[in-house]
Chain A
């Protein structure tokens, strides 16, 4: 008994990333939904995967997508009480509130003629590919809980994040990579910490949690062999482990054994597929240039390129964080920096997906955990405080219409007024595009049928769908 039930030699001989393992099927079937088609699945799915571009810190909607002439008119004047009375306020609490006009210019772009600020010249080029929502609201005004709210639909910790939900609901398509991958880049003002709960599995099994891919050190924790161990030697080891597990199982009859064997097979494949994925040096120069990516630099640009590579390999949920958008002060300076680092790569990602005919089934979402106040804050030059009552995000691909704007804030950009989109509506819309009925997609936890969209009724934003 020296051979394993699974033949990995084919892989070693260079037949790429294929596999044909019954045990692996077991592993995949185990993703919670073996057997009958779950009731939460809709007849049709427009998107197969999500790329969520999180601009962590909260970009100002008033310097990106939400143009309010009145804001400029009232620049420097006291903020009318009628807006702010009884509203939650973060750092500006107890201070005199005055209006801060736009710190940049806006122009109309594309056939759709949508307003985009001068900070985002590359996004401006693709307005006809994206749907801008200008009426987002959230419920948490501080970074940490606001991220948690955006990612899990609640400010109570310990709940699964959207990537975990989606992998739980749809299973993973990739046999060599995790179904949920997270990457982070930094650059801008006061990069806020991001806790791993943002991609946690909560009460779902840990296999659904996001796996961090890193540009420095091991690309995935423990994916590299110990020093002095060759791939051949590691392969021998895995062979011996799975052989012994298989042998033992004849005596003990434990169904987890097959899953364990499959997990070792996949781990071994990941040891090759992850470094292969992370190595972008073989991408053609024009692609690297389009993104502005330098192999191994850990930039947002590189992460966007990696996101496309992950999408190509069937990874279900790809979450990019760019930390640096917390512009309490020096907003112009830091917007230049953040947009300089992210605007072109974001555009490149959309173009690249489009040219590979992948945008149609890849849902791309862009936005922060909240927006910023119409009021002035001055922590080192003009800036803006956290704002939850109205902000902007955009979606593209995966069955979303291009060139539409949806929703409006009031004339000072304070309250979302028309066609308000709550975070749970965003979640419901994302799930809908993935072929999931948010209302029926529940997991029982502590007696409650828990949903990503929470207990309140969530609305699919149908007006922006194709």
Chain B
């Protein structure tokens, strides 16, 4: 039903004269891919009748009988076979579980009638900057592209959302924290474009921006604080997380960001910067590892290699290369050879097949900054000594130099540094193609590193290609996938869905973008602006499309999935931000950036299914109130509050978390001590600020929802407040017990009955659908 609407809509979007033109990429390729490629596609072993339908040269090549005769379906074997009267002859075969529907057959027929024009797969040719359509006056390019598709569909865009919703949306999207009431009110008073632009720039400059951007990246790279397999011992790689936060905050160009992570250990340059690149290269060590007794190193080295291919391709290329571990890919032109040649790039990563992963001491970023500063000072002083004549001054300078040197010795003492996972480069081990992925089989040919053949070639002469070559190839202007993949995922952060809906598959089986030209325009713009991430985001959030209301009944009916972007989206916050939001609203949040992972409250018996090493020692004090992204991530049992809100195990690359809506989530928000304590601190905050109930309620709403309450809402809450006051007045003991939840002591100057009643009210507000939803 939905699909029919969507198809209708897609046609509706085209000018009338072209309404019935069948496009190969949009209409025909998905049918062939899903119904034919399994036996007539890239996988050589599965291929039947030596027939390939995924390549131009095969589809249109010489063959008897001719597959396609332009304009003449009745003479085209392709059409004849899918319409054959004999069910034994008709394709796809009866036993194949995905038969063709008659509209699909019709589409193919029409395509042939119209001349059977081929198009290369959209994501496998480098994007070219498309001309910006002129759909409206004085619009940014993004809005021109969006409007150009709305008009033919007879959809008018939703109105701009109200300033309160907008200011909250922007905060949650850019820094993952709610706006402060004074910021909201200032914007509401003056919601001009200038003021909005200023707000955008302020938030892009916030140190919390890097934290916000790091969260989806941590999911992509499967960041975790434990090794994953079996005992799932804890490991340290939080410096890598610090690297991410810092890189996003510094607005490191994305191409550089890619290179540092994949091959930071191979970069040459300033010795201090090199350390940062080494930390970045921890990227290659994010895979799971085992120390299980009886595990064979060879098997696990093969597993780690496959893991890296699967995940690296998913992270940067949005490609499902993992399918080619045991056979050629069934839908995209990745071969088994491509898979193992890709694996060979990582053959130099030093690691144990079985055993606890080796860590390396590295300075923290605070140390690195200070170290760099000391070196600068030292350099300056040394320059100065050259020009100094007076002995006295010379002595003073030398003394200062000696001091600096001592400080440098101290700060560069690696024994004091924390340990982290980095890539250490070793002699490349032999990588063989493993028949059917079987590590015991050594008959396969030895593979040398190379990029997937259909995507190009590294021209390096006789030299063996390195990870750095791979990194540069991925981060190059010519790579058709890298920029599209990244831009698409960023878009998702601001609209809830990607322009291409499958964030992890831009291949043949992935859904074609709703706005292919806009995606290409953004990708080209992004690259030509020097892979400038903040600029990309700035362009998106300054668009009118971003600033629209999500409530737009006419487009909801016509376009329920919002493929044409007539409106904004409303969606639940991601797990970490639900926590951050509650802590920030209450004032309990400790906004420290970076550092080692922390252990907030966790159910006492949560790790009992692990070995005894599974004992959880909860943190104390400030560390209890840090942002969600710093929560210790143990892959076998990651924090149950985060898990309830769809945070993944971080075992495999996840480009998009599902958003579910479950009773477990309600239990977390109602009963997890984190939220009960936050509610109490929230209550103290509003009691402390105002004396009157109404003023307190008003402030509570402005803190949590960036708006004042309505009359009805006040009614519900006042009613509750009275009831709660009565309950606790009668049972003061309960009030005392209730106020003891969490480690922060209750404000002893407050009347416990009153505080308990207001805490109940605060719990209500923290549990509202609106509170945990970004609109």
| A residues in contact (CB < 8 Å) with B | 1-2, 27, 30, 35, 86, 88-91, 93, 141-145, 155-158, 178, 184, 192-197, 200-201, 203-207, 209, 211, 214, 216-218, 220-230, 232-234, 236-238, 240-241, 243-245, 247-249, 251-254, 256-257, 259-261, 263-264, 266-268, 270-271, 321, 323, 385-386, 439-440, 444, 446-448
Contact = CB atoms under 8 A, between A and B. Distances in A.
B605 A233 contact: no
B667 A229 contact: no
A195 B440 CA distance: 27
B652 A157 contact: yes
Contacts of B504: 446
Interface stretch (B136-144, B380-388, B668-676): B668-676
A206 B510 CA distance: 23
A237 B760 CA distance: 7
Contacts of A216: 605
Nearest to B645: A206
Q: Which of B303, B644, B661, B719 has the most CB of A within 10 A?
A: B661
Interface stretch (B81-89, B243-251, B623-631, B766-774): B766-774
Contacts of B330: 448
Contacts of A1: 712, 715-716
Instruction: State the 10 A-B residue pairs at the shortest beta-carbon distance, nearest first.
Output: A228-B738, A447-B509, A90-B294, A195-B636, A228-B737, A158-B652, A267-B666, A91-B294, A157-B651, A205-B660
Interface string B714-752: 011101100110010000011111111100000000000
A207 B662 contact: yes
B613 to A, nearest CB: 9
A256 B651 contact: no
A448 B710 contact: no
Contact of B716 (A222, A240, A385, A447): A240
A221 B667 contact: yes
Contacts of B440: 86, 88
Contacts of A144: 229-230, 290, 292
Nearest to A200: B649
Contacts of A206: 643-646, 658, 660, 662, 664
Contacts of A323: 609
B233 to A, nearest CB: 10
A241 B738 CA distance: 19
Q: Which of A35, A193, A224, A440 has the most CB of B within 10 A?
A: A193
Interface in B571-622: 572, 603-606, 608-611, 614
Interface string B647-662: 0110110100011111
Contact of A217 (B604, B667, B763): B604
A76 B713 CA distance: 80
Given A144-B230, A156-B652, A194-B609, 13 more contacts: A90-B293, A156-B310, A158-B649, A193-B231, A221-B640, A221-B644, A223-B667, A244-B716, A249-B769, A251-B551, A267-B670, A447-B507, A447-B509
A227 B737 contact: yes
10 contacts: A141-B294, A144-B230, A157-B288, A201-B658, A222-B671, A251-B551, A252-B775, A254-B775, A446-B504, A446-B505
A27 B756 CA distance: 33
B184 interface: no
Contact of B605 (A214, A254, A446): A214
B642 to A, nearest CB: 10
B450 interface: no
A447 B502 contact: yes
B390 interface: no
A305 B41 CA distance: 52
Contacts of A244: 713, 716-717, 764, 768
Given A253-B551, A270-B667, A205 B658 contact: yes
B608 to A, nearest CB: 8
Given A228-B738, A446-B320, A143 B292 contact: yes
B372 interface: no
B649 A157 contact: yes
Contacts of A193: 230-232, 609-611, 614, 636
Nearest to A209: B643
A193 B737 CA distance: 36
B553 A233 contact: no
Contacts of A259: 661
B272 interface: no
A272 B723 CA distance: 22
B314 interface: yes
B769 A237 contact: no
Interface string B218-248: 0000000000111110000000000000000
Nearest to B652: A158
Contacts of A223: 667, 671
A207 B659 CA distance: 10
B322 interface: yes
B269 interface: no
Contacts of B466: none
Contacts of A35: 1
B295 interface: yes
Interface in B91-113: 97
B299 interface: yes
A145 B229 contact: yes
B314 to A, nearest CB: 7
A251 B550 CA distance: 11
B323 interface: yes
B606 A221 contact: yes
Contacts of B608: 184, 214
B662 A448 contact: no
Contacts of A197: 635-636, 649, 651
Given A205-B658, A240-B764, A447-B502, A226 B664 contact: no
B740 A245 contact: no
Contacts of B97: 439-440
A438 B731 CA distance: 57
Contacts of B660: 205-207
